[in-house]
Structures are given as C-alpha cells and as structure tokens.
A and B are shown apart, each in its own frame.
Chain A
Amino acid sequence: MKLSILPKIIIACVIVVFILWTLTPVLWMISLSFKPYGEWRTPHLLPQKPTIDNYRMLFTPQALQIFIAYTAIIEPVTGPLTRSLIVSITATIIAVIIGFFTAYGASRYNTPGPFVLFFTLLTRMLPPATFLTPIMVYFTTLGLFDNIAGLILLYSATTITYAIWIMKGFIDAIPVEWEEAALMEGAKPLEVLFKVVLPIARPGLVVSGLFIFLMAWTELLFALVLTNVNAVTLPVQISKYVTAVGALWGTQAAIALLGSIIPVIIGYMIQRHLVTGFTFGLVRA
C-alpha cells in the first residue's frame, strides 16, 4: 500500500502545477483590474491600494483626468457589451436553428448530400484572413460595414457548420423507430420533429449553441476590420485600451474580466445539459 502513495503525490503535484499554470493569468487579470494606475507595472500579485477606478473608467471614460486623451476613441463599455450580446445571441440562435433542420435532413434523408455537408466545413478550413478582403468588399457594397447585422450574418454563416456536424451526431444516435412509433400513433411530421427529436437532441443543441456563442463572443479579427464606430463589439473594445498612444492595462483587465464573466454565467446555467452533451457520444458507443 505504501508504494501507491508516491504516484499519488506525483499526480497531485502535476495537477497543482497545471492549475497554477492555467489560473495564474486569470488571477493576474483580476488583480490588475483592481490596481490603481501607479501599480499597473508593479510585480505584486495583490494590489497594494485596491481601487475600482478601472471599472468606473469603463462606464464613464471621461471621469478621470488621466484618461482624457483616450475619450475620443473609447466609448462607455455598455455599448459594446450590449452589441456583443445581441450579435452573439442572435448569431447563435440563427446558426442553431438552421443547423438543427439541416442536420435532421442530413441524418434522415441524406440531404444536402455528403459533399455539400463537408463543403460547409470549408469556411473553417481556410485561414480567416484569406476571405477577409472579399467579405470587406461585399459588406461595403451591401451596406453591412460597421453594422451589427453584418456581423450577425457573418458569425452565423461561419459557425453553422459546427451546429450541423455536432447535431447530426446527436440525431444519428436517435433511433428512427421513435419517430416511426410517433407517426404510427397519429403525430404529424412536424410534431414528431418537435416532440420527439428536439427534446432528445437538446443536449446537442445546447453544446453547439454554447460553442457558437463563445466563438462569436470572442471573435476579434473580423469585428476589428468590419466595424468602425457603430458596431464595435467587446473584443474590439478590449483591444482599444492598448493603443499607440499608451496602454491602459488596468482598465483592459477590468473589461476583460467583465467579458469573461458572461460566458461563465451562461456555462453555469446550462451545466446540466453540458455534461450529457459532452458524454453523449461516449455513453452511446
């Protein structure tokens, strides 16, 4: 029995190191967000004189004298935050709904065919920068530049493939007998879809939804290029605190923290579905 203690200690140490490795940047971000201007570049893990100035700054950029230089480019955080929420949630809903129907068709009737289905992945295989210019041209022509509708369209279009592939796996695992039994007992095809298939595939819906939400929520490259003033999203806003003029490290940490809290809250709310969602394939196999 004594022999087995040593491996346990080693495993425990590895876990501790891994946790520190993962959490240190997060802890640093939290600490930094509470540090006053003077402490931003100091190596203390804990703020010497904790302050919420960074947070006040997010909501009223003009409040503090030292930030005056930035007020021209930085708007209050509420704008980007609301926009990011609208963009991410709408894009997720669109992608998941279209993805669900497409996945159902692909799973049961083999539409739109394996090639097209695979083709949807193409948007994810190219480096995003390759279609940055074409999209830019499209968007300018269509009046979608600096418009949140454009971002919604773009995010849902590029993430829909995940919704399709994740949910196809879930729907494939649903025995067709369940649907046939429902049909037999007098349910209409749409009733079968919503009362039988949808409830069982719900973990897949939730998992792909969260996945897509996180992608849209954190997307920087396209948002940076395709927005100017009216459609600035949270990631773009975060990037704005570090500029050629100077870097507002503490304020950036504060907004980053704000931006991380929302996915954590959502993840916590749907935790129950996440567990079934991630283990679904394992249990079935």
Chain B
Amino acid sequence: MSRVVLRVENIVKTFGKTIAVNDVSFEVYERELFTLLGPSGCGKTTTLRVIAGLERPDRGRVYIDGVDVTDLPPKDRNVCLVFQEYAVFPHMSVYDNIAFGLKAKRISKLDIDNRVREVAELLDLQKVLWQKAGKISLSEQQRTAMARCIVIEPKLLLLDEPLSLVDAKIRERMRRELRKMQRDLGVTMVFVTHDQLEALMLSDRIAVMREGKLIQVGRPQEIYDNPINLFVASFIGSPTMNFLEGVLRVVKDKLILESDVIIELMRGIDTSLYSQLDGKKVIVGFRPEDAFISPEGLIKGVIQYTEIAGDKKIIHLRVSDKCSIRVFVDLYALVEVGDVASIQVNPLRLHIFDKETGNKLLRAGV
C-alpha cells in the first residue's frame, strides 16, 4: 500500500445543537481519488472544510503528510479546495484567476507565466485565457477553478461536488476528464458528491456517510457488492436494491421468508450457516441484476409493468400485497404485463439485514 497523505482522526464538528460530523476517521493514500459519498446534510462537505482548514473541528486531528495541521490556517496546509459554485473570481480574467495563488506566493513573473500557460494547456483553457471569468461557460469556469488549484501544486486537492451544476451530457465528459487528469498528474484527491453513480465511476475508494457518521469505506466494487447495512444497500445502485421484509425460517434445506405470503428464497442451503437466523425478523435484499427469470424460479409474481433501460428491460413484479420487486431481463425477452413470472435469485448475491438494526447479518455464500 502506498503512502498515507491524509489522515483524519476522530473528527467531531457541531454547529449549535446539530452534530455535523460525528467521530469520523479515515486515511487517504497517495495518488488516490477518495470520495465522500452521502445524501445532502450528511456532513461530507463539513468534513472537507475541516480538512481544508475552513472549519475548526471540536475534537479530532487532521494530519497531512504526517504533519498535524489541525491548528494551521488554510494557506499553510498545502491543500486546495474547488468549490461547488462561485469557484472563480468573475472580475478577473481566466489568466489572473489561475495566477492568483502564485502571485500570493511571490513567485517571479516569468515563472508564473510559464506555469499558468502550462496548466491552461492541460485543461484546455488557452482560448479563453484573456476573457473575464464571469463571462465563460460553466464547464470552462469549472476547469478554471480546477486550474487555480492545480497550479499551486497542493499535496491534496479537495473537490466539493464540482460537477453538480453542470448538465448531464457535459458532466459525463467532465467526469472522464477529471479522472484522466487525476491519473495523469498523479494528484491525491478527496471528492465530495451525493451522486452514487459518480462516486462508483470515479473513485478508487469510497466513504459512505450518513448523519455525520462514516458508515462504510471501501473500493467501489466492495461497496456495491457488499454493503454493510441497509442504508448503504439502498443508497448505492440504481435502480435500488429489492427489499423483502419478513421472518426468516430454515425448513430442512430451504430458506423461507414469512411475509404476508410465504416466499421460498433458496433450496439446498447449508443449514449450519443459516440455522442461527431461524425466526429472526429480517429484510432480505438483492439487486435487480442479480435475479433472472427461470422456469425453476422460486419467487413468483405478476408482471405489473415494464421499463426499458438501455439494452435491458426492467420488469416490476408483484409478489404479494406488500412485496414487489424489480428484475432486469433481456430487452427482447418475451414478457407481457399480466404474465406470471418465476424468478431465481443468484444465491451468492442475497443480502440479509437485521430488521431492527439494519446491519448486515449474512451475505449468502460468504
């Protein structure tokens, strides 16, 4: 594992009575793109501002490159934050915007010029270099903001939802550009977003936050495949995971869920693994892509309606009054609304959560 660039230790930050960040700790490695992901108000932006030095934590320490920077002002931390909006000074040209940080550092004019032009070329800003930053397009403004940070060569680049204001088409392109730039320059980035898809696409590692607490940290695939609790399971993935609520029963070699109807989940299970769960109130989850239509399928339901999602079709299946599920099928699958379909769930992809705590009890096959 490579070097730790940022270490956040037990950060607590309160605003009046609200606890914005509650005992958050994590480490970010060199050249990594680390994402703080969570719904709005989960404390991810506050965490970022604490790292940047714009907020003082009530408790906890922040280390950058092994140095405790908790008490240092933003300019002495060697970090740079790209803001969600208002990221550029509208009254200055793009050139002056990029040069701003260098001028503050009292570097010779020639060096400033070289570096500004170098970064402008990297971010494709040469054409607008002499225009007022308030007059250029949003995407160019975003790149200018990025350039302003890159030019001062910080140890850590912090980004606060930099793509949220850009419209979908451009966002996709900028996401790729951002990823490529991060790789090419080898910068360490902490990225804040509420968009789970963006986090999955961009990140080396993701930290999922909720109500000020860090819920799960892991690689995108880990988070997606093995969510630690119901919140992560429902927050990550689109369309969201299917959830069935009921009491779990192990009958011979069958795993059964007692809801308003009896749903047989699996056959031929390893009873020793599941016996401890017998009689527990649970929520069973599986992703729409982890189930398929099969004549031997155990879960039966009536197709309510279908949606086309690119090369796949989503069928909405009513299993009982309380349960309905979504399953991906082939775009050309012969399914009609009103048909009865039987569904087979990939047993390796079944998640069982405790209904009381929401924590994962067991993932089948693990």
In the complex the two chains form, what is the Cα distance from A182 to B100 in whole Å?
8
B73 in the interface (beta carbon within 8 A): yes
- Do A180 and B81 form a contact, CB below 8 Å, given A185-B100, A186-B75? yes
> What 0/1 pattern do residues 48 to 83 of B give for CB contact below 8 A with A?
000011100000000000000000011100011101
For the complex, what is the distance from the CA of A187 to the CA of B53, rounded to whole Å? 14
How many angstroms from the CA of A181 to the CA of B105 in the assembled complex? Answer: 14
B87 at the interface (CB under 8 A from A): yes
Given known A-B contacts A175-B85, A181-B148, A186 and B91 have beta carbons under 8 A apart = no
Beyond A178-B89, A181-B81, A185-B101, 13 extra complex contacts between A and B, CB < 8 Å = A177-B85, A178-B86, A180-B74, A180-B81, A181-B87, A182-B100, A182-B104, A183-B74, A185-B104, A185-B152, A186-B75, A187-B104, A200-B89
User: Is B237 an interface position by the 8 A CB rule?
Assistant: no
Return chain A residues, CB-CB under 8 Å to B284. Answer: none
Q: Pull 22 A–B residue pairs with CB atoms less than 8 Å apart, ordered by A.
A: A175-B86, A177-B85, A177-B87, A178-B86, A180-B54, A180-B81, A181-B145, A183-B54, A183-B73, A183-B74, A184-B79, A184-B81, A185-B75, A185-B104, A185-B148, A185-B152, A186-B104, A186-B152, A187-B100, A188-B75, A191-B104, A200-B91
Residues of A within 8 A of B89 (CB): 178, 181-182, 196, 200
Residues on B with C-beta less than 8 A from A183 are 54, 73-75
Give every chain B residue within 8 A of A188 (Cβ-Cβ): 75, 104
Q: Does B90 contact A (CB under 8 A)?
A: yes
Tally A residues with Cβ within 8 Å of B. Answer: 17
Minimum CB–CB distance from A194 to chain B (whole Å) comes to 12
B residues in contact with A177, CB < 8 Å: 83, 85-87
Q: Please, which residues of chain A bring their CB within 8 A of the CB of B100?
A: 182, 185, 187, 195
B244 at the interface (CB under 8 A from A): no
Question: In the complex, which residues of chain B have a beta carbon less than 8 angstroms from the beta carbon of A186?
Answer: 75, 101, 104-105, 152
Within the assembled complex, what's the spacing in Å between the Cα atoms of A195 and B103? 11
Answer whether residue A199 sits at the interface, using C-beta atoms and an 8 A cutoff: yes
List of A residues within 8 angstroms of B90 by Cβ: 200
B149 at the interface (CB under 8 A from A): yes
Q: Report the bound CA distance from A183 to B80 in whole Å.
A: 9
A28-76 contacts to B (CB < 8 Å) = none
Whole-angstrom distance between the alpha carbons of A180 and B52 in the complex? 10
- CB closest chain-A residue, reference B106: A186
Cα of A195 to Cα of B80 in the assembled complex, Å: 19
| Residues in A neighbouring B80, C-beta threshold 8 A | 184-185
CB distance from A137 to the nearest CB of B (A): 47
A185 to B144, CA, bound (A): 14
A182 to B101, CA, bound (A): 7
Q: Once the chains are docked, how many angstroms separate the CA of A199 from the CA of B52?
A: 25
With A and B bound together, what is the CA distance between A191 and B81 in angstroms?
18
Give the Cβ gap from B155 to chain A, nearest Cβ, in Å. Answer: 13
User: Which chain B residues (141-193) contact chain A, with CB distance < 8 Å?
Assistant: 145, 148-149, 152
User: Please, how many angstroms separate the alpha-carbon atoms of A188 and B90 in the complex?
Assistant: 20
The verdict on A185 contacting B149 (CB below 8 Å), with A180-B54, A180-B74, A199-B91 known, is yes
Is B104 in contact with A181, judged by CB distance below 8 angstroms? no
Which single residue of chain A is at the shortest CB-CB distance from B158? A184
Residues of chain B with a CB closer than 8 A to A199's CB: 91
Pick from A175, A178, A187, A200: contact of B75, CB below 8 A: A187
A32 to chain B, nearest CB (A): 46
Chain A residues with CB under 8 Å of B101's CB are 185-187
Residues in chain A near residue B53, CB distance under 8 A:
184
Closest to A176 in B: B86
Give residues of chain A (200-234) contacting chain B, Cβ–Cβ below 8 Å: 200
Q: Give the residues from 86 to 120 in chain B that come closer than 8 angstroms, CB to CB, to chain A.
A: 86-87, 89-91, 100-101, 104-105
What residue of chain A has the Cβ atom nearest to residue B148's Cβ? Answer: A185
The 8 closest A-B CB pairs, nearest first, are: A185-B101, A175-B86, A186-B104, A187-B104, A177-B83, A186-B75, A177-B86, A184-B74
Whether the Cβ atoms of B104 and A184 lie closer than 8 Å is no
B134 to A, closest residue via Cβ: A200
| Residues of A close to B81: CB separation below 8 A | 180-181, 184
For B149, list chain A residues within 8 Å (CB): 184-185
Interface centre among A177, A182, A185, A196 (most CB of B within 10 A): A185
Tell me if B75 and A184 are in contact (CB < 8 A).
yes
CA distance A172 to B74 in the complex (A): 22
Question: Which residue among A184, A196, A199 has the maximum number of chain B CB atoms within 10 Å of its CB?
Answer: A184
Q: How far is the CA of A180 from the CA of B91 in the complex (A)?
A: 16
Q: Is A180 touching B83 in the complex (CB atoms < 8 A)?
A: yes
Bound form: Cα–Cα A184–B157 in Å: 11
A92 to chain B, nearest CB (A): 23
Task: Identify the closest chain A residue to B151 (Cβ).
Answer: A185
How far does the Cβ of B273 sit from chain A's closest Cβ, in whole Å? 52
Task: Give the CA-CA distance A104 to B87 in the complex, in Å.
Answer: 21
The distance in angstroms between the C-alpha atoms of A242 and B100, with both chains bound, is 59
What's the nearest-Cβ distance from chain A to residue B313, in Å? 44
Q: Measured between C-beta atoms, what is the minimum distance from A68 to chain B in Å? A: 59
Q: Which of A181, A182, A195 has the most CB of B within 10 A?
A: A181
A200: chain B residues within 8 A (beta carbon):
89-91
Report the minimal beta-carbon distance from B3 to chain A, rounded to whole angstroms: 23
Closest to A202 in B: B91
A269 to chain B, nearest CB (A): 20
Give Cα A182–Cα B54 distance, bound, in whole angstroms: 12
Interface pair B83/A181, CB less than 8 Å apart: yes
CB nearest neighbor in A for B79: A184
| Chain B residue contacts of A187, Cβ below 8 A | 75, 100-101, 104
**Residues of chain B lying within 8 A (CB to CB) of residue A184:** 52-54, 74-75, 79-81, 149
